[in-house]
Amino acid sequence: MIIECQNCNKKFDLEDKLIPLKGRLLQCGFCHSQWHQLPNIITSSPKEKVIDKVDISNEEVKEKDEVKEQPTKKKKKIKSKARDKQEFKNKNIGFFSYIFIFLISIIAFFLIAETFEYQINNIFPNFGNYIIYVYETLNNILILINDLFKSY
């Protein structure tokens, strides 16, 4: 059975057997509000019982089975909608986010390399010259960008 919090309208999937005939006090896991939930009792009318005793053709049995399967399909749809929302939230990382993460990683790499320049220079001679070349290249790129903005 699917129950809904009366305060925040959050939906929960709960097994029918967990709620007794008298009902049960439930608490929302999201907003912590409490309410008394009564079970969903499906009552069948006497006409339906009589129809069940009469011989039924195969087509009508299939129709009854389809009707019985519909509530379970609704449960599956609700669960799949929640999964779709989670997947949508996970897919929000776009192209520019990857570029931004890449640039931050490169900056962090150069900061670490500059911090341990002396120790790395003992293992790789001329490492200091490579860092200088990188800084000169970055400076030239900044000059180019400034010239582009000044030309407009």
**Structure confidence by residue, pLDDT tens digits, 116-144:** 988 998 998 888 898 899 889 999 999 99
**Which position has the token pair 């309208």?**
9
For the entire predicted model, the pTM comes to 0.35
Residue 82 lies in a domain: no
Residue 114 lies in a domain: yes
Number of alpha carbons in the 13 Å side-chain half-sphere of residue 72: 5
Give residue 26's domain range: 1-42
Asked, for residue 77, whether it belongs to a domain, the answer is: no
| Residue 28 and residue 5 in contact, taking contact as beta carbons nearer than 8 Å | yes
In tens, the pLDDT along 32-83 reads: 888 888 887 765 554 444 444 444 445 554 554 555 555 544 444 555 555 6
Report if residue 105 sits inside a domain. yes
How many structural domains compose the chain?
2
Locate 40 and state its tokens. 């969903």
Stretch (H or E) spanning 28: none
**132 within some domain:** yes
Residue 53 resides in a domain: no
* 72 occurs within a structural domain: no
DSSP secondary structure letter of residue 98 = H
Q: Is residue 55 in some structural domain?
A: no
